[in-house]
Structure 1
Amino acid sequence: MEMKEFYYQDGLRVSVFNLDHEAVPYHFHNEVSDMVYCSRGQIAIELPEAGEVFTLHPGEVFQVPRTNKHRFVNGAPVGTHSRYVLLQIGAFDINFVPPAEGLAEKVADREATHVADAEVYIENREGDIRKLAEHFAVEKPEVLTEEEQGDVVQALRCFVDRGIAAEHPRAAVQP
């Protein structure tokens, strides 16, 4: 797994994750929700407390509401790399969950639900996210490849296009 965090200003945090077949550890956030855009391969999002697994294919988005324990897994066939772009709005925080909690077992036999047309809740940040997409369209962060740069621009534009000007509802996990 390779994480490239390259932008965190004004309450917007953008990262790129390249996944081989290692999963991002289970974690949750108290202050932000994870907005995920699949740019390569297939991303599986495990939400063990809800007993759900969701999958994304390239061009699809999903948002994990804050406080939900989750992890991201490469859902593509072995040997196929997957990539996702992560956007978070607000003050970043992360809380890793000890492996002893046995969360993986809660979703081990669960068939994944494919998410195709999800929406994301972008609060009142549409203009900021749009400006960020345009900025990255002409200026490549040093840590990114040109392909990753294109994925970031595409992801940010997708978040704007599918964005709802509201905070994510906390109660339910809905794709």
Structure 2
Amino acid sequence: MEMKEFHYQDGLRVSLFNLDHKAVPYHFHNEVSDMMYCSRGQITIELPDTDEVFTVHPDQVFQVPHPSKHRFVNGAPVGTPSRYVLLQIGDFDINFVPAAKDIAGQFAERTATQVTDGAVYIQDRKSDIIKLADHFEQDKPEVLDSEEQADVVAALRCFASRGLETAHPRSGRHS
């Protein structure tokens, strides 16, 4: 797994993840939700609090409301890399979940729900997200290659176009 953090300013945090077949560890956020855009491969999201599993394909989005425990897994066939762009709005925080192997076991061999036409909840930040996409289209962050830059711009434009200008309705409802 390779994580590239390159923007955290004015309450917008953007990262890019290249996943091999090591999953992002189970974690949760008290203050922000994870909005992810699959740009390559296939991403599986496991939500142990609700016992749900979702699969996201290229050009699709998914949002995990805070404080849901979750992890992102490369759902593509072994040997096929996957990539996603992550956007978080607000004050970043992260809490890793102990005993993750026990949690992972409950999702082994589970069938995932395919995500279609996912929406994301972007509060009142649509114009800021569009400006950020324009910025990254002109100025490539040093840590990204050209393909990753294009993926980030596509992700931000997708978040802005599919974004609902409100908070996630499930945020803060369960632990």
TM-score, reference length from structure 2: 0.95
Q: 2-side partners of 1:171 and 1:32: how far apart? A: 9
The answer to whether the 8 Å contact 2:43/2:56 transfers is yes
Give the % identical residues: 71
Closer, same or farther in 2 for the Cα pair 1:44/1:172, shift >3 Å? farther
Q: Show the counterpart of 1:90.
A: 90
Task: Determine if contact 1:52/1:110 at 8 Å carries over to the other structure.
Answer: no
> 1:55 aligns to what?
55
Residues 66 and 172 in structure 2, CA contact (< 8 A), matched pair in contact too: no
Give the counterpart letter for 1:120 in structure 2: V
Mapped partners of 1:100, 1:75: distance in 2:
18
Could you say if the C-alpha distance between residues 105 and 139 of structure 1 is closer, same or farther in structure 2, counting changes exceeding 3 Å? same
How far off is 1:106 after superposition?
A: 2.4
RMSD across aligned positions (CA) = 1.4
Equivalents in 1 of 2:113, 2:100: separation in Å?
26
CA contact (8 A) 2:67 2:171 kept: no
Aligned to 1:12: 12
Distance in 2 separating the partners of 1:100 and 1:57: 25
Structure-to-structure mapping, 1:119-138, within 5 angstroms? 119-138=119-138
Runs of 4+ in structure 1 displaced over 4 angstroms? none
Partners of 1:171 and 1:132 lie apart in 2 by: 24
TM-score (norm 1): 0.95
SS at match of 1:142: coil
Matched residue count: 173
Structure 2: runs of 5+ lacking an equivalent = none
